[in-house]
Amino acid sequence: MSTEKIQAEVRTEFGKGAARRTRREGKIPAVIYGHGNDPIHVSLPGHATTMALRHGGANALLELDIAGTPQLVLSKAVQVDPVRRVLEHIDFVAVRSGEKVTVDVQVIIVGEALRGTLVVTENTSVQVEAEATHIPESFEVNIEGAEAGTQFLAGQLELPKGTILLTDPETLVVNVTDQVAEEPAAESAEAPEAESAGTSE
């Protein structure tokens, strides 16, 4: 996982009013937690931070420059404006290189199952323990040619060296079943009409 470098400014004003002022300046208010220290309130450049989080995904690793001191952080909670779709606030956890962290990693499906099957994603992510600087971006489940009845479990995922699966290995991730054909709506609609016609005679 690559590390994005971002210039951060320490915030001395807190609260909703201060956060709004920060956003009006094109910056994003954020808080850094971790390692038993008091939370650090910072503001980050809006565009650069948005692009870094978009590139890093759910577990984006950033290197913040806070008054000349580098600090590795992992994104934990991101608030997005539901209308304008812009970042409103970010919670980070401070990490160190080589430190083990617990994260949820997305599962993505590749390939196509056999025709006539239905592919159901039972769990979109699994929990793992990994080094903060080597968090997998995602895990792939290859369903190419899978028949109905095929199941893919968490324990079957290929994990990189140093990554430990914390989710129960027997957890169902992807389930391939028979596709159930729906009855034509026209037929069910015609039946009551025929019955009522016979009654009136």
Give the dihedral of Cα atoms 111, 114, 118, 119; nearest 10 deg: -30
Q: Is residue 14 part of a domain?
A: yes
Q: Which of 95, 116, 139 is the last residue of a domain?
A: 95
Q: Are residues 8 and 85 in the same domain?
A: yes
Sign of the alpha-carbon torsion through 136, 40, 68, 65: positive
State the CATH number of the domain containing residue 70: 2.40.240.10
Single out the residue of 141, 63, 131, 149 nearest to residue 109, CA to CA.
Answer: 141
Residue type, 55: H
pLDDT number for residue 185: 52
Q: Are residues 39 and 59 in the same domain?
A: yes
> Based on the structure, what is the number of domains in the chain?
2
pLDDT number for residue 22: 87
pLDDT tens, per residue, the chain with 201 residues? 557 789 999 988 777 788 888 888 999 999 999 877 889 999 999 999 999 988 878 899 999 999 899 999 999 999 888 888 888 999 999 999 889 999 999 999 999 999 999 999 999 999 999 999 999 999 999 999 999 999 999 999 999 999 999 999 999 999 999 987 555 554 545 555 544 444 444
Q: Is residue 188 part of a domain?
A: no
The distance from CA 60 to its chain's CA centroid, rounded to whole angstroms, is: 10
Task: Label the pairing between strands 87-95 and 125-131.
Answer: unpaired
Q: Which of 50, 73, 95 is the last residue of a domain?
A: 95
Q: Are residues 89 and 111 in the same domain?
A: no
What is the rounded distance in angstroms from the CA atom of residue 115 to the CA atom of residue 186? 26
Q: Which of 68, 95, 122 is the last residue of a domain?
A: 95
Write the CA distances from 36 to 45, 93, 94, integer angstroms.
26, 11, 10
Single out the residue of 79, 105, 107, 106 nearest to residue 92, CA to CA.
Answer: 79
Q: Are residues 112 and 83 in the same domain?
A: no
State the CATH number of the domain containing residue 159: 2.170.120.20
Side-chain half-sphere CA neighbours of 87 within 13 A: 24
What is the rounded distance in angstroms from the CA atom of residue 12 to the CA atom of residue 80? 23
Which helix (H) or strand (E) is 194 found in, with range? helix 185-200
Q: Is residue 197 part of a domain?
A: no
Q: Is residue 167 part of a domain?
A: yes
Q: Are residues 16 and 76 in the same domain?
A: yes
Q: Is residue 52 part of a domain?
A: yes
Q: Which DSSP letter does residue 36 get?
A: T
Q: Are residues 81 and 114 in the same domain?
A: no
Q: Are residues 89 and 107 in the same domain?
A: no
- Domain range for 42: 4-95
Q: Is residue 184 part of a domain?
A: no
Q: Is residue 194 part of a domain?
A: no
Q: Is residue 183 part of a domain?
A: no
User: Length of the chain in residues, anyone?
Assistant: 201
pLDDT number for residue 190: 52
